[in-house]
Amino acid sequence: MASKAATILYIEDDNASRLLVQRVLSNHGHTVLVANEGLEGIALAREKNPHLILMDINLPHMDGREITTRLRSLPHFANTPIVALTANSGPGSRELALAAGCTGFLTKPIDVAEFPHQVDNFLQGRSEPLTTDERNIHLQKHAQNLVKRLENKIRELESANKRLRDLDKMKSDFIVLVSHELRTPLTLISGYTHLLEEQIQNVDSQLEPASVTSIANGLNMGVQRMREVVNEIISVSRIASGNLELVLGPLRVDRIIGSLCRELQEICDKRRLTLTVDDLSGLPVIEGDGQRIQVALENVLGNAVKYTPDGGRIDIVARQMGNTIDIIVRDTGIGIPPAEQPRIFDQFYVLGSIEHHSTSKSAFQGGGLGLGLAITKGIVEAHNGRIWVESAGRDIEKLPGSTFHILLPVKQSSQEPRL
């Protein structure tokens, strides 16, 4: 038993070490408090005033030496024994810990029989010596380490701040775009509603079935577009929260591409875009969620149409490579700068200024919500696939074009390694 029961604070992030030390010292009559990391440890030390502090050195955020220096700066802990307890006993680590303010230095794994006596010695006033020369050398090193860590932390904070500012801008742009995207069909709906009201109020006029049908069609168009916008927002929030459920079944990519191309043909004719599709009949039937894959491909093909000026080309090829199929959509459009290529798959990311946003889904550079590719990536990755783009850069005159690759596994087995 210890000569006198003490309260000991152990700052350690490793659960197993915490439990062992706690058990050994409690059996010896001490009360052991534990903290996971530095800030929690400092707060607990201030609250409970322990008689001794055991300090792990390799801790996340602040390391044990930094916590010790901070504690020593508080008048209450100027003389409290603080004992480093670390697995890292390389050359200089003892001296560095002592220079930072530790009273002693013990190594892990602890010797269960010896450990309570070692702790008692420190409780009774033992302190490991360090010559003035050694202290000076190691204090300097400690100060250099602190400044280096501070510099890295500032860098990390700056880049986190930048990322937050970018995200904030993307979100406010997104709100502008959503209002814009919703207002356009809303104007359409309200126009047709007025028309209907006028026709009903005009007692002289007979309501012609043809005119009612045309008004109903107009209303439907507006409602349909609003539904699309809302569905896009819902899809992206499902993907972001990892709630995208797939309904798996056999699916034929050649058929999906065929039907999408038929839908796009009219727009391509209007805009004099040449749309070619390789013979895809040799592609295997793959396992996947047909509706979702259709959405994913529709987004990529829709973008190829949107970002290729009139008179350009869009070529679709696909090939099987072992257990994978690679679908390639190549356009002769404005291209994407290499630095932006990974970011276009982020939510809300719209390259270029939103002021020139036009709602048309098919017009050259017609606007979107910046959600299309985020949804596509979410769907492809939910199928254990991969999507990326290759492009030499953005140039509205030279038109370097973009090539999107979508890799999808043929089978969705749970053992399938991610592509």
Report in angstroms how near the CB of residue 405 gets to ligand ADP at its nearest: 12
Question: In the complex, which residues of this chain contact ligand ADP (CB under 6 A)?
Answer: 299, 303-304, 307, 331, 333-336, 344, 349-352, 368-374, 402
- Phi then psi dihedrals of residue 202, to 5 deg: -75, 100
Report in angstroms how near the CB of residue 187 gets to ligand ADP at its nearest: 20
Residue 196 or 295: the one with the smaller Cβ distance to ligand ADP is: 295
Decide: helix, strand or coil at residue 303.
helix
Report in angstroms how near the CB of residue 255 gets to ligand ADP at its nearest: 23
| CA–CA dist 419, 243 (Å, integer) | 21
Report in angstroms how near the CB of residue 189 gets to ligand ADP at its nearest: 22
Q: Which amino acid is at 350?
A: V
| CA–CA dist 216, 164 (Å, integer) | 45
Residue 42 or 336: the one with the smaller Cβ distance to ligand ADP is: 336
Decide: helix, strand or coil at residue 156.
helix
The answer to whether 359 touches 184, Cβ cutoff 8 Å, is yes
Report in angstroms how near the CB of residue 369 gets to ligand ADP at its nearest: 5
Residue 111 or 395: the one with the smaller Cβ distance to ligand ADP is: 395
Residue 45 or 304: the one with the smaller Cβ distance to ligand ADP is: 304
Indicate the residue whose CB is closest to ligand ADP. 368
Residue 98 or 380: the one with the smaller Cβ distance to ligand ADP is: 380
Residue 289 or 331: the one with the smaller Cβ distance to ligand ADP is: 331
| CA–CA dist 300, 298 (Å, integer) | 6
Report in angstroms how near the CB of residue 238 gets to ligand ADP at its nearest: 16
Nearest in space to 13 (alpha carbons), one of 60, 76, 52: 60
| CA–CA dist 113, 91 (Å, integer) | 26
The answer to whether 287 touches 250, Cβ cutoff 8 Å, is yes
Nearest in space to 356 (alpha carbons), one of 343, 365, 345: 365
In angstroms, the first-to-last Cα distance of the chain is: 60
